[in-house]
């Protein structure tokens, strides 16, 4: 192995170490470099809330869509949840996003790529749980709030109201 | 004054010697001759395993997602449009094909380079929709590092008609093994340091892990629902939190402390399995990448143990 190639390899590895160190110190991310910060912030909140997506069948049955059978592919539940949360202040964009999810769900269902039922509409809700480590009910759903809905061919929905005490 | 100057010089000399020893040791560890067979076998296992892991993943679907979700991250400019479906389909196919051809040793140097570039695109694409996942980032780093290695000097396909003698042992066949292990060390060390910097002692001493485990039960999909049970046992969740940080911070010692290597590397893999079981994220490819810790450099062409 030639000396110049040894120096090039060593320099490349030093660069990799330094770049990772930079990510850790600054807390920034330049994918694929990362400080791998997931779960590093200390959890102190007594509650946690998340957006959940539901499908409503033509018969009115609500089905929770969590992407387990590929029905939300390729986004999956967590990416979709974050995207819908980001679009919350923009009903038009949110409706556009739900229309995209609905169209892909139905197209893939028709092609036999997931086993979900046919849907008439989608609904997004914000669910809030109370966390009490060591308590009698350590995880308790305390709030369910309608956030958005989508049905093909209907006008833009209004934001929903909170319904405390599920 | 003169005594202080003399002792200062002595300290400087000692530090210089220690640094020189460290550099010599690092150079020896990186570039000591190793047989080509070991690296070739590692190549077959790693790239073949990645091919199996990603073969069933339909990356083409990313070309069908609506632009309303598009949110490009560094290094892409914010106004760049999402890639067309045909490009996504072509590059993801090239990624899978290059993993397989690198595994088989077909035009290995070009295949490995293509796997790195196509992998950067294909595995990076899912992060351009608003959420950065960290499950595949180490794999892309590994592919980029290995693209510069001579992976195909042995066990290449098709075999040469007039086979030459097996390639002589060389530093070219050792540094990729060390570089892959170093990459894995950086992942664990960065994760451990992030916890120390962002959470500090509270990451272990507070009820953080209990809250996290409870939260993940309703917001994620862990394999097991044991999070509720663990969250009710302070001794258990404080112990698991301490163990997590300890494993992540100590993992890089596996690079230099050969006796502790099996324990540290096994601990790292168990930690990844623990994340999937109790917290949710699946680091399947990263867990599989631990094959780089196998003692490939001790394998010779004849199957006996080398240096």
Q: What is the pLDDT of residues A36-45, one digit of tens each?
A: 999 999 999 8
**What tokens does A125 get?**
């809700």
**What tokens does B184 get?**
């894995």
Least confident of A22-31, A50-59, B21-30, B275-284: B21-30
Phi-psi region of B258 (alpha: psi -120 to 50; beta: other; left: phi over 0): alpha
Report the pLDDT averaged over residues B81-108. Answer: 96
Question: How many C-beta atoms surround the C-beta of residue B275 within 10 A?
Answer: 21
**What tokens does B298 get?**
């001790």
The sign one gets for the Cα dihedral B162, B164, B165, B166 is negative
Q: Which secondary structure element, helix H or strand E, spans residue A56, and what is its range?
A: strand A47-56
* Chain A residues inside the 8 Å CB shell of B183: 16
Distance (Å, whole) CA A151 – CA A51: 18
Distance (Å, whole) CA B44 – CA B10: 51
Q: Pick from A112, A109, A121: which is nearest to A62 by CA?
A: A121
Q: Which secondary structure element, helix H or strand E, spans residue A45, and what is its range?
A: none
**How buried is B107 (Cβ within 10 angstroms: 0-12 exposed, 13-18 middle, 19+ buried)?**
middle
CB pairs A-B closer than 8 Å:
183
For residue A11, what pLDDT band results from cuts at 50, 70 and 90?
A: very high
Is the previous residue joined to A32 through a cis bond, with omega within 30 degrees of 0?
Answer: yes
Task: Please answer whether residues B39 and B306 qualify as being in contact, where contact means their C-beta atoms are separated by less than 8 angstroms.
Answer: no
Q: Pick from A71, A139, A158, A5: which is nearest to B218 by CA?
A: A139
**Strand A121-131 relative to strand A47-56, pairing:** antiparallel
Task: Please answer whether residues A106 and A72 qualify as being in contact, where contact means their C-beta atoms are separated by less than 8 angstroms.
Answer: no
Q: pLDDT by residue (tens digit) across B35-57?
A: 999 999 999 999 999 999 999 99
Q: With CB atoms and an 8 Å threshold, state whether A139 touches B228.
A: yes
For residue B307, what pLDDT band results from cuts at 50, 70 and 90?
A: very low
* Chain B residues inside the 8 Å CB shell of A97: 66, 68-69
Distance (Å, whole) CA B184 – CA B269: 11
Q: Which secondary structure element, helix H or strand E, spans residue A150, and what is its range?
A: strand A139-150
Q: Which secondary structure element, helix H or strand E, spans residue B143, and what is its range?
A: helix B137-146
R_g of chain A computed on alpha carbons: 22
Of B161 and B287, which is predicted with more confidence? B287
pTM confidence score = 0.90
Q: pLDDT by residue (tens digit) across A92-133?
A: 999 999 999 999 999 999 999 999 999 999 999 999 999 998
Question: What is the per-residue pLDDT for A166?
Answer: 37
Distance (Å, whole) CA B77 – CA B71: 10
Question: How many C-beta atoms surround the C-beta of residue B11 within 10 A?
Answer: 10
Report the pLDDT averaged over residues B247-263. Answer: 96
Report the pLDDT averaged over residues A80-101. Answer: 90
Closest to A139 (Cβ–Cβ): which among B66, B172, B214? B214
Distance (Å, whole) CA B43 – CA B152: 8
- Smallest CA–CA distance, residue A59 to chain B, in Å, is 27
* Chain A residues inside the 8 Å CB shell of B289: none
* Residue keyed to tokens 């001579």: B150
Q: pLDDT by residue (tens digit) across B292-303?
A: 999 998 876 554
Q: With CB atoms and an 8 Å threshold, state whether A27 touches B66.
A: no
Q: Pick from A67, A69, A101: which is nearest to A83 by CA?
A: A101
Query: For residue B167, is pLDDT > 50?
Result: yes
Distance (Å, whole) CA A145 – CA A162: 4
- Smallest CA–CA distance, residue B47 to chain A, in Å, is 19
Task: Please answer whether residues B54 and B96 qualify as being in contact, where contact means their C-beta atoms are separated by less than 8 angstroms.
Answer: yes
Query: For residue A55, is pLDDT > 60?
Result: yes
Distance (Å, whole) CA B153 – CA B156: 7
**What tokens does B34 get?**
């190793």
Query: For residue B306, is pLDDT > 50?
Result: no
Interface mutation target, options A5, A12, A42, chain B, most CBs of B under 10 Å: A42
Q: With CB atoms and an 8 Å threshold, state whether B68 touches A97.
A: yes
Closest to A34 (Cβ–Cβ): which among B64, B71, B190? B190
CB proximity list for B301: less than 8 A, separation 6 or greater? B35, B36, B37, B154, B166
Closest to A78 (Cβ–Cβ): which among B64, B131, B197? B131
R_g of chain B computed on alpha carbons: 23
Question: What is the per-residue pLDDT for B164?
Answer: 63
For residue B160, what pLDDT band results from cuts at 50, 70 and 90?
A: low
Q: With CB atoms and an 8 Å threshold, state whether B65 touches A74.
A: yes
Query: For residue A157, is pLDDT > 80?
Result: no
Task: Please answer whether residues B137 and A31 qualify as being in contact, where contact means their C-beta atoms are separated by less than 8 angstroms.
Answer: yes
Q: Which secondary structure element, helix H or strand E, spans residue B274, and what is its range?
A: helix B261-274
Question: What is the per-residue pLDDT for B1?
Answer: 52
Distance (Å, whole) CA A159 – CA A146: 7
Distance (Å, whole) CA A149 – CA A136: 35
Q: Pick from B94, B134, B136, B135: which is nearest to B115 by CA?
A: B94
CB proximity list for B134: less than 8 A, separation 6 or greater? A34, A36, A38, B281
Interface ipTM > 0.85: yes
Distance (Å, whole) CA B129 – CA A137: 36
Q: With CB atoms and an 8 Å threshold, state whether B190 touches A139.
A: no
Which residue in chain A is spatially nearest to B233 when comparing CA positions? A134
Task: Please answer whether residues B172 and B33 qualify as being in contact, where contact means their C-beta atoms are separated by less than 8 angstroms.
Answer: no
Q: Please state at what angle helix B108-124 crosses helix B36-55, rounded to 10 degrees.
A: 40
């Amino acid at each position: 192995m030639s000396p110049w190639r040894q120096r090039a390899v060593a320099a490349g590895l030093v660069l990799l170490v330094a770049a990772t160190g930079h990510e850790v110190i600054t807390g920034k991310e330049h994918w694929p470099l990362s400080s791998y910060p997931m779960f590093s912030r200390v959890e102190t909140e007594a509650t946690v809330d998340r957006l959940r997506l539901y499908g409503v069948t033509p018969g009115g049955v609500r089905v929770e869509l969590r992407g387990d059978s590929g029905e939300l592919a390729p986004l999956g539940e967590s990416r979709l949840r974050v995207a819908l949360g980001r679009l919350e202040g923009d009903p038009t964009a949110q409706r556009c996003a739900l229309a995209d999810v609905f169209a892909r769900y139905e197209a893939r269902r028709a092609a036999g790529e997931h086993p979900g039922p046919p849907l008439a509409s989608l609904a997004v809700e914000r669910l809030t749980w109370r966390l009490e480590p060591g308590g009698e009910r350590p995880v308790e759903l305390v709030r369910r709030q309608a956030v958005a809905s989508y049905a093909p061919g209907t006008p833009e929905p209004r934001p929903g109201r909170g319904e405390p005490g599920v | 004054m003169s005594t202080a100057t003399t002792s200062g010089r002595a300290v400087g000399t000692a530090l210089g010697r220690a640094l020189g020893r460290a550099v010599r040791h690092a150079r020896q560890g990186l570039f000591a001759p190793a047989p080509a067979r070991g690296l070739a076998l590692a190549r077959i296992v790693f790239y073949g395993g990645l091919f199996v892991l990603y073969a069933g993943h339909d990356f083409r679907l990313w070309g069908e997602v609506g632009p309303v979700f598009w949110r490009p991250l560094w290094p892409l400019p914010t106004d760049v449009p999402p890639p067309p479906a045909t490009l996504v389909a072509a590059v993801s196919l090239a990624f899978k094909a290059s993993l397989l051809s690198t595994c088989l040793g077909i035009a290995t140097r070009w295949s490995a380079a293509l796997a790195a570039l196509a992998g950067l695109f294909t595995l990076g694409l899912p992060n351009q929709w608003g959420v950065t996942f960290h499950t595949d980032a180490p794999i892309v780093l590994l592919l980029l590092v290995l693209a510069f290695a001579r992976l195909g000097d042995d066990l290449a396909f098709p075999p040469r008609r007039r086979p030459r003698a097996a390639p002589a042992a060389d530093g070219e066949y050792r540094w990729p093994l060390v570089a892959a292990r170093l990459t894995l060390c950086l992942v664990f060390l960065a994760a451990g340091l992030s916890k120390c910097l962002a959470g500090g002692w509270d990451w272990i001493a507070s009820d953080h892990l209990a809250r996290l485990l409870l939260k993940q039960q309703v917001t994620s999909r862990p394999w097991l629902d044991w999070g509720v049970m663990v969250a009710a046992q302070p001794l258990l969740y404080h112990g698991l939190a301490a163990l997590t940080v300890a494993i992540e911070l100590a993992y890089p010692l596996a690079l230099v402390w050969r006796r502790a290597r099996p324990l540290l590397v096994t601990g790292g893999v168990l930690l990844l399995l623990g994340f999937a079981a109790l917290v949710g994220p699946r680091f399947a490819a990263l867990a599989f990448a631990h094959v780089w810790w196998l003692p490939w450099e001790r394998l010779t062409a004849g199957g006996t143990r080398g240096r």
